[in-house]
């Protein structure tokens, strides 16, 4: 079975109800106010003790309110949110936490519109939080896929072209890598929105997503010919003899792509624009790779853990699309 936390700190010693909430009731009890959220962030950010960002002192700092700490050596005021995706936020931490809870516990996540209604915030605030969490999610995917991996392009529909010359839906090319399990089933996935199916788009993706030495199954497309040079064992699976890139994908990729399309059309009602597609792919990946987790609360904790180690995301990135 996939260990969804293989790439993170061990979850073995974590105590349910203390280190992470199991239910919404426990969530509410654990995070009643700003102080409680700040204390949790502090514990995750400085898990092995506070380190002053200014002078490096490790002495226990003085505590102020809402995650503000004062270094006893240099009097530097450190904030638990500074330098993270929560940097300079004006949104209450309780709202951030509530969002993380819903995103990780709802089986298919939720759209900014649904979040707006659920939290009673503005659409803009809901959207900005989701976008920032999506950046934190990608940083959670560190270890490369291994074993036997299927790689193919899929044409994902339902995405809007947000161009100046009017809108319309378009099919986007997404290259997908899926770990295959024996005798059947899938492990983890990775995906990237690419402009075309040229080798220059496909090979760098494989190098980043799949560990060298892995057996990579592709179709006969020449765009993958360079893989052996990068240390992969490439096996061609014949799916069509036409050589037409608009083929039917390999079975694993096909399955993941149809789940992805269903998610885009269902949860997000197709309201995704091409410049934001990669953010959604990262969210899909984060959730898919943790689908066998023993507790949704652990996924919540993982997202918050990532949130405090992920660099700030600018407002421009939130609006126009993150530069992956
Ligand atoms: Zn200091």
- Residue 72, pLDDT score: 92
Q: What phi and psi values does residue 278 have, to the nearest 5 degrees?
A: -60, -35
d(CA 223, ligand 1 centre) in Å:
53
Residue 203 Cα, ligand 1 centroid: separation in angstroms? 46
pLDDT class for 9, splitting at 50, 70, 90?
A: low
3-state SS of 253-272 is: HHHHHHHHHHHHHHCCCCCE
CA of 54 to the centre of ligand 1 (A): 5
62 CA to centre of ligand 1 in angstroms: 11
Q: What is the pLDDT of residue 218?
A: 95
Q: What is the pLDDT of residue 47?
A: 83
**Could you tell me the distance, in angstroms and rounded to a whole number, from the CA of residue 75 to the centre of ligand 1?**
6
Q: In the structure, what pLDDT confidence band is assigned to residue 84 with cuts at 50, 70 and 90?
A: very high
How far is 67 from 299, CA to CA, in rounded Å?
A: 23
Confidence bin at 141 (pLDDT 50/70/90): confident
Least confident range of 9-23, 210-224, 254-268: 9-23
- DSSP codes joined into one string, 97-147: HHHHHHHHHSTT---HHHHHHHHT--HHHHHHHHHHHHHHHHHT--SPB-S
Give the pLDDT of residue 242: 54
More confident residue, 170 or 320: 320
Going from the Cα of 51 to the center of ligand 1, the distance in angstroms, rounded, reads 8
Nearest to 70 by CA among 82, 60, 83: 60
55 CA distance to ligand 1 centroid (A)?
4
Taking only the tens place, the pLDDT of each residue in 26-55 is: 999 999 999 999 999 999 998 888 888 889
Confidence class of residue 194 from pLDDT cuts 50, 70 and 90? very high
Average pLDDT over residues 95-113: 94
Rounded to whole angstroms, how far apart are CA atoms 273 and 213?
36
Residue 138 scores a pLDDT above 70: yes
Tell me how many degrees the CA angle 319-321-324 measures, rounded to the nearest 5: 150
Give the Å distance between the CA of 94 and the centre of ligand 1: 28
Distance 161 CA to ligand 1 centre (A): 49
Instruction: Please check the confidence at residue 1 and state whether its pLDDT lies above 50.
Output: no
- What pLDDT was estimated at residue 163? 47
pLDDT given for residue 244 in this prediction: 53
pLDDT at 73 > cutoff 70: yes
pLDDT(165) > 60: no
Closest CA to 286 of 273, 268, 265, 300: 300
Task: Give 60 Cα–ligand 1 centroid separation in angstroms.
Answer: 10
At 64, the pLDDT band (50, 70, 90 cuts) reads confident
Ligand 1 centroid – CA 71 distance (Å)? 5
Ligand 1 centre and the CA of 68: distance in Å?
A: 13
Across the chain, mean pLDDT equals 88
Gap from CA of 251 to ligand 1 centroid (Å): 56
Is 175:153 a contact under the CB 8 Å cutoff? Answer: yes
């Amino acid at each position: 079975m996939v260990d969804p936390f293989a790439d993170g700190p061990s979850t073995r010693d974590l105590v349910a109800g203390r280190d992470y909430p199991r239910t919404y009731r426990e969530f509410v009890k654990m995070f009643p106010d700003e102080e409680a959220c700040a204390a949790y962030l502090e514990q995750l950010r400085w898990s092995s003790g506070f380190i002053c960002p200014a002078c490096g002192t490790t002495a226990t700092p003085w505590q102020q309110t809402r995650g503000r700490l004062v270094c006893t050596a240099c009097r530097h005021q450190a904030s638990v949110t500074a330098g993270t995706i929560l940097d300079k936020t004006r949104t209450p931490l309780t709202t951030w936490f509530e969002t993380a809870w819903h995103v990780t516990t709802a089986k298919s996540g939720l759209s900014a519109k649904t979040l707006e209604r659920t939290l009673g915030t503005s659409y803009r605030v809901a959207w900005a939080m989701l976008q920032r969490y999506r950046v934190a999610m990608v940083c959670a995917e560190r270890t490369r896929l291994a074993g036997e991996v299927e790689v193919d392009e899929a044409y994902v529909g339902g995405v809007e072209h947000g161009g100046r010359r009017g809108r319309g839906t378009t099919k986007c090319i997404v290259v997908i890598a899926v770990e295959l399990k024996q005798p059947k089933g899938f492990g983890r996935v990775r995906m990237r929105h690419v402009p075309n199916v040229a080798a220059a788009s496909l090979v760098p993706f494989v190098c980043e997503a799949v560990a060298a030495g892995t057996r990579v199954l592709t179709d006969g497309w020449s765009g993958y010919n360079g893989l052996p040079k990068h240390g992969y064992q490439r096996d061609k699976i014949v799916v069509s003899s036409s050589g037409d890139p608009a083929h039917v994908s390999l079975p694993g990729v096909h399955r993941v792509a149809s789940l992805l399309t269903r998610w885009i059309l269902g949860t997000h009602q197709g309201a995704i624009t091409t410049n934001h597609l990669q953010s959604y792919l990262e969210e899909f990946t984060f959730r898919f790779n943790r689908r066998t987790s023993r507790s949704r609360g652990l996924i919540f904790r993982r997202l918050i853990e990532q949130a405090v180690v992920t660099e700030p995301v600018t407002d421009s990135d939130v609006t126009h699309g993150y530069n992956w």
